[in-house]
Structure 1
């Protein structure tokens, strides 16, 4: 069912973002029902009937989510360029002001079966950027290991 959800507050947006991140991570790591229940319990989501409902909906849409993530993922040979810039987000309340660094990233990737390019733009915090960099380093290490193994076979 396609419904438009109106997010009225930053709390609603944060909540939705957290739920989607949890779902995507479960799909990414191919968690089974026991693992998901364990993670939900760790997050203090302990009501069994709610867990059952979540798992029912999760399993119902699992193949669609997997397809979506597969389409949105970027294979290493398709990523052409990454540009970034630093912005400062001003957060204020009645007592103080805080400048928080926000990074804007622009990725250029090649479409899968064509020579066309596509632009992806998103923003992240410094912590998110550091996590992304670590994942890139891990991926680079895996690629080097795969290349080394292929050369060793020859």
Structure 2
């Protein structure tokens, strides 16, 4: 939306928060989805019984192919540079050991996305091994550090929107 100037002539968000965004997947096998996807068919995720109520357990390989296309497109846009609209800030919160989105994703966003004045965006690396460290409900094991990371991020969200 930012790259395509969607907000031109519309209400511009003051703040955008990205929590564990993916530009480069941690699993390098995603790039093989176009080749091996049709053989695999569906990929089963390791959801808990509670998560099965809210998240898809079986993911069609076509969705992985579409994700791969989207990531390639966004990566190219970031390489060419993207500028935020005026009076809009963006902050990335990225887990250091994310099993889904490689932490280098934050670096690519930092290098490719600038404020309207050309200033760099803000990136905060989080000491976490969770993907989407703010989503703790329904997870089987959550540490005190996970809770502290979540609360710290939520407090930062609130402070930035005031």
**Shorter-normalised TM range:** under 0.3
Structure 1 or 2: more strand by fraction: 1
Which structure has the larger Rg? 1
Structure 1 or 2: more helix by fraction: 1
Structure 1 length-normalised TM: 0.25
Structure 2 length-normalised TM: 0.25
